[in-house]
Structure 1
Amino acid sequence: MSTPPDNTDRQRLFGRGSWPEVRRIGDILRTETVGGALLLGAAVLALAWSNSPWGDTYRNIGNAEFGPAALHLDLTVGQWAADGLLAIFFFVAGLELKREFVAGDLRDPRRAALPVAAAVGGMAVPALIYVAFNARTHGALAGWAIPTATDIAFALAVLGVISTHLPAAMRTFLLTLAVVDDLIAILIIAIFYTTSLDLVPLGLAVVPLAVFGLLVQRRVRSWWLLLPLAAITWALVHASGVHATVAGVLLAFTVPVLRRAEGPGPGLAEHFEHRFRPLSAGVAVPVFAFFAAGVSVAGAGGLGATLTDSVTLGVAVGLVAGKTIGVSGATWLVQRFTRARLAEGLSWWDVLGLALLAGVGFTVSLLIGELAFGPGSERDEHTKIGVLLGSLVAALLATVVLRSRNRHYQNICEVEERDTDADGVPDAYQVSDPPR
């Protein structure tokens, strides 16, 4: 029988987590990878259609309105995708973040420090770079938050395409970083992109939200009770002027993570996550991407004018250079102040590869672009070009770095997965100290 590894591995940056969390994260990442492939397909189809002779048909579909006008819900198809379907995306992100910090490995502040710091750094530096490019451009500063968010589905699709054996701890870090910066992004949207606020519907939204919270705290799972309450909460938040996706996060934070009594099976948050993640990754995000990514590549004034516009450059450079500097710099600061070492077998080249991959932005970046400049505006079109260009460059650079290390990653994965006993848990994940 092999000797369990020393627990000091868990004190290192990118150290192994617990085996249950590794398995759970693996299931999540598989779903997100499939969703990423659908996202890529939707974006390519939108670009092809919008630049084809039938581009007007694409735009007419996206601008078609439907919904009850009396409830201020006579929205375009594109708005339903951005305000409605993305609420599902943020509901799932909220569930994941709450579970990680309540019952996952990140309930240990030492393990949570790295992805949280990396997310903050990876949002602050891109925003500063965007501001530097647009400080003297009238009206352009409204888009300062565009290059701040990582699209986990898109990033995982890149990993799937390049077939790299990225260690589980690094994949978990990337997922957690993306979820944290998605939640910071929703705070930015609520605070900085709420142009008008009606306190009456916002106050009324508290009622169905509280009833929803009361029911889920009592472990009620009946969809015919919960879905109407969630829909009413969403509609009232939308009517208040706050972006409706905020309702998804608020609803997620009411869902309990832990089971009321000991026993087999997932808690309610994990149960909802299993139910709604395929809907988010497979439907909500790809449909939003389809209606958001359609942009005329030439743009107003031609391709040259679009590529040299300060908004396009600020977004693209923010995603590539800003994310790389922000994520790797924050990681270095955590290492510097905690004196923790990188996990055995990893180097700063691996941190650089992850930081570059974090520059793959799409869903939330496009959403903020629409909020900042208005759907279909010239600057919104330039935002889309900047997001697509920056994400493509970041993906290509990350591919070069990560593929060059792939044989090394494969060796790490083989070490982690071998010596599995009858209990099905690899010895690398068995620690000698008793559970806390």
Structure 2
Amino acid sequence: MSKLFWIIFLLLMLYTILPTILIRLFGLWMYKKKKSGSGIALTFDDGPDPEFTPILLDLLQKYQIKATFFVLGSKAEKYPQLIKRIHQEGHLIGIHNYVHWANAFMTPNKVRRQLDSSVNVIENIIGIKPIYYRPPWGIINLFDLLLLKQFRLVLWSIMVGDWRSKGGKERIETQLLAKLKNNDVIVLHDSGQTFGADKNAPKYMLAALDDFLEICQHRGYHFLRIDTYMQLNNLAKQGPAPLLKRLIIYLWLKWEHLFHRLFNIHPIDVNNQIFYSRVRKYHGKTIHLANGEVISPGDKVVELHFNNEKLSQLIAESNTMVQLAVNMIRDVQRFLPKMTQYLHRHTEVKGIYGITMIHRGSKQLGFTVEELPKGLFNYFTLIYLRILLFVLHPNGRQRIDLKKGLLSPRIVAISVLELKRRYSAEPELLTISEPVSHYQRQ
């Protein structure tokens, strides 16, 4: 194939294919389904339509359901009375571009003009500026990520091909019921005038929807507007930064999985994977341990690595830094007896060794903590660990800025003899008041 083909393919990958894959597979930057709670978001695209939208509104009124309409600006401009009715009956209005064109085939400026025109049309009709946006076919381009400052981008978790007439209402109803779960976002279409749609398809969608909503009513399902739906899961307050950070964390953890494979690093305790490890020769400076032993260059050691996926999970589950510290210390305490069992199979190992910035409370657990010697290794380790803190910690940037003098890597080590003396029989959990006070001061 020619170089021109590969250049075009690469540009398409960067411009639209890769961003779309990321949002569709991993839910990055877009809202597609709640993780918890209850409630279903019923959403409709491609309208308003003078034939089908009034019937749909009557149906929603029959079941006392509030829905979300992602409308085309050109149709809203043509049928302002329908937009008024949608709004007056308590439904939410979002944007689905001015005309039904995929963002992949438009320049960033063209997408922006489409959205600005649609926003102006809706705002002039109902007096409210819409902030929810669903790109046609769920396809975005790279520059659409800049829209996150202005819009909440919304996808779906259930689509049943209701833009086709084939199979009638039975096919649509069957697929809706088969796929339905609490927390879903359903997308249906109240117009058959877009490219690839059958003009009479909404007739079958409405017939299926009537039966579907009656069944859902008997089953006790609740339907919510997309704004209420997102607020119940604290999603509406998430701007671009949290979503972008999710992508960074995802890519970082994938890199770490690859790193572990390349260097044969494995968890010791499969039930408490707070640490990964490998046995290797120690190559650093001599470490003088608190119990009088030393770890010298050439000694066999177990090199510990924090499981940053587990750390990220602990951060997400902890409401405060104090709670995070308590949870981490308890996990480490549960891990150490397993480490002693592991060392019975590795009699050649003299000590356990790691480098970390998370070392508060280590001395109370029996570890020796020393500064990392100055030099290139110290410099690059510091950069790596600060990037890691920025990625995983919810206030990583602020902590780095405020605590630069304190956030420096330390060697943390303990001898096998000391570890076995302390943890051969699983002890009661140690007091955590002292380590926690360190975290409170950070």
**Greater CA radius of gyration, 1 or 2?**
2
Task: Identify the structure with the greater helix proportion.
Answer: 1
Structure of higher RCO (CA pairs closer than 8 Å, 6+ residues apart): 1
TM-score, length-scaled by structure 1: 0.23
Q: Select the structure that is richer in strand.
A: 2
